Structure 1
Amino acid sequence: MWCGGNMRLKHFFIAATAVILSNAYGANQNHPDPVEDVLEKCAYESQAGMRDCLSRSVSESSKVLISAEKKLVSALKQWDEQPKFVSKARDQLIRSDDAYLKYRDAQCAFASALGGGAIGNALELRRLACIFGLNMERAAHLTRLASSLSRK
């Protein structure tokens, strides 16, 4: 349980992580920052509770991402384009998904490393917040792409 000086340390960690990760993702006032939001949501938990909260949030963001991918595949099926271009786009989406997962893992390992000599679960909390943020951003991007396709 966080108390006294540890509570100040926890709030400093949350604020510093939000600033670093928000800047890394280019968040601005026009677009809500998913990392800042999830850290705020989980901030009032114990350290173990915060880890659980972030783990649940990562799981939820994975579901949102899968749903966005399915919506894009569905939109591609309805896309008013020649079948060969639809097929090519679907193949490229699969490649993009694979590349995204590799990028996300590397980027979030880097975000964790920026925690330096942090103690306890702090590095893992940074990694989880990063995964959540990137998943939510990718889901939003795929959703925008799906809605931009002209329908048959």
Structure 2
Amino acid sequence: MKVIAPAFILALSSMSRAAPCPIDEISLRDECSAYSQAGMRECLAKHAAASEQALIAAEDRLRTALAKWDEDKKYVNLAKSRLLTATLAFQRGRDGQCAFASSLGGGAAGDTHEIYRLACVAEFNYLRARQLGNAVAGLEQK
């Protein structure tokens, strides 16, 4: 079973704003397709977990940057509040989209629905982590 290299996650978090994100559902499923269906599910579960860790790290970096942001406190507090609102909206949107992605497995048997869902979750988490990294890059620190 492939293990997701920490260097891969670091490279993702340091991608420039202009660089396209190389991670999408299809690429993730293709990468894991060398395994049996159960192995593919496990591979994608590892990607989903790694993407969750990348997202948590990006959120932590952004909260730290907001605490040190060289801006009036009312704007800092507004940004923190809106980050929470955006995070909740992201989670609902991701979960809804990934439930839809799962349904595209149709009448397939086995782990197909979960394979589609896990690939979707990983893609969304990685993209959100990148968005948050871009937000941090624009904040002038004290």
Paired residues in the alignment total 124
Q: What is aligned with 2:103?
A: 113
Per the normalisation by structure 2, the TM-score is: 0.81
Whole-Å separation in 1 of the counterparts to 2:40 and 2:33: 6
Q: Which structure exhibits the higher relative contact order, with contacts defined as CA atoms closer than 8 Å and separated by 6 or more residues? A: 2
Shift of 1:34: 3.2
- Among residues 64, 68, 73, which one is paired with 1:78 in the alignment? 68
Per the normalisation by structure 1, the TM-score is: 0.76
Structure number with greater Rg is 1
Aligned counterparts, 1:37-48, within 5 A: 37-48=27-38
Shift of 1:118: 2.0
Whole-Å separation in 1 of the counterparts to 2:73 and 2:92: 29
Post-superposition Cα deviations, 1:89-122, rounded to whole Å, max 9, x if no partner, equal 1111111111111111111001111222222211
Which letter maps to 2:67? K
Percent identity of the aligned residues? 41
Q: What is aligned with 2:54?
A: 64
Q: Which ranges of 4 or more aligned residues in structure 1 deviate by more than 4 Å?
A: none
Which letter maps to 1:78? K
Whole-Å separation in 2 of the counterparts to 1:126 and 1:36: 9
Q: What is aligned with 1:125?
A: 115
User: Is 1:99 matched up with 2:80?
Assistant: no
Shift of 1:30: 4.1
Structure-2 change in CA distance of 1:50 and 1:138 (3 Å): same
Gaps of 5+ in 1: 1-28
CA contact (8 A) 2:62 2:136 kept: yes
Gaps of 5+ in 2: 1-18
The structure where helix makes up a greater share of residues is 1
Q: CA RMSD in A?
A: 1.5
